[in-house]
Amino acid sequence: MTNAADPAVVVVTARPDPGGLTRLFAASVPILVVEQGDAALAALAERAADLVLIEAGPTPDSCLDALALIRGLRLRPHLAHTSILLVAAGEPAETRRRALEAGATDVVLAPPGTTDLTAEGLDASDLALRGRNLIALARAKGAVETQARTLAREVERAAAESQEREREIIRRLMLAAEFRDDQAGDHLTRVAGCVLAIADGLGLSEEEGNDIALASTMHDIGKIGVADSILHKPGPLTEPERCEMMQHALRGYRMLHDSPSRLLRLAAEIALTHHERWDGAGYPQGLKGTEIPLPGRITAVADVFDALISARVYKPGWPLERARRFLEEQSGAHFDPDCVAAFLSRWDDVVALIEERPADRAA
């Protein structure tokens, strides 16, 4: 794409007076005339142009120089779409083939046997017409490229906006869950931090870890449907109350699973499976081992760990080391052993996270 300061046409010629060539174009078209060889390469080092018209001399060597120049110009990204028109003498089919292979857009051949290769010796109107067409072609390519770049930027911006909206929805839902379950406090933030640590320990990509961490903050969103009398009951739950409480996994899933948002569907999967156990004794489906989706297995470790170190109306928060021992004991029973190992491999990060956002440990 040319800038306002760039010439529309660069004429490369060995002739001292290329007047015939320059007169082919309207006076309004800015033209720069440069000598063949290094001077031409230097002149086009940073400049773009719509058309580079290269007039080769009549000798075979001069034609080879012109072909080398075309190849050199085509290596430059800013000239990738510039039209290059070669005016040359030589055996017509062979010269045309080699010129096009070198990267010329079009070739105008002087009649065989021509020794004085000048624009005046050629069909001037044909050359002028081709030149104008090639300028129009280069400008059209430039316009299409600009449009494509603008569209790509628009698509990128729209995708980023939509992703940000998705994340915003999730943060709002997390707030809703926190308001509903006042025990939550920083629980969801700590769970997300522990999920990140486990994902990192498992070698998942940063993007995967971030997605699972964000989606994990909705693991208990289904508790919105659990009665206050059960959710905030200070003592142990009766069997029917426990069954009602267990419904939160399925309810959370139902709230989210049919969303077009990939993150909300991930959150649905976590809501459904975060109470499954590695040994198959969990709920609601009694899935076992790797039947449980990995995000659910990761969240189970993070969620139980934080529940253990946090105070509940019926228990004080456990010291970190005691909770750690519990995870170790339950590795392969309640929890995926790989997730526990990943969690322990990032133990220092977990301790730092809890120190930054401490759980309320008093009963």
Binding region for Fe ion (CB under 5 A): 220, 303
Cβ closer to Fe ion: 211 or 220?
A: 220
Cβ closer to Fe ion: 49 or 218?
A: 218
The pair phi, psi for residue 333, each rounded to 5°, is -105, -80
Q: Cβ–Cβ contacts within 10 Å for residue 150, how many?
A: 10
CA distance 25 to 23: 5
Cβ closer to Fe ion: 97 or 315?
A: 315
Closest approach of Cβ 276 to Fe ion, in Å? 11
Closest approach of Cβ 3 to Fe ion, in Å? 58
User: Tokens 């490369």 — which residue?
Assistant: 12
Closest approach of Cβ 312 to Fe ion, in Å? 11
Closest approach of Cβ 248 to Fe ion, in Å? 6
Cβ closer to Fe ion: 47 or 223?
A: 223
Closest approach of Cβ 347 to Fe ion, in Å? 20
150: left (phi over 0), alpha (psi -120 to 50) or beta: alpha
Q: Measured at the alpha carbon of residue 85, what is the angle toward residues 82 and 89, in degrees to the nearest 5? A: 155
Give the residue from 117, 304, 181 showing the smallest Cα distance to 173.
Answer: 181
What is the residue-wise DSSP string for 183-197? T-TTHHHHHHHHHHH
CA distance 331 to 325: 10
Distance of CA 125 to the CA centre of its chain: 50
Cβ closer to Fe ion: 49 or 231?
A: 231
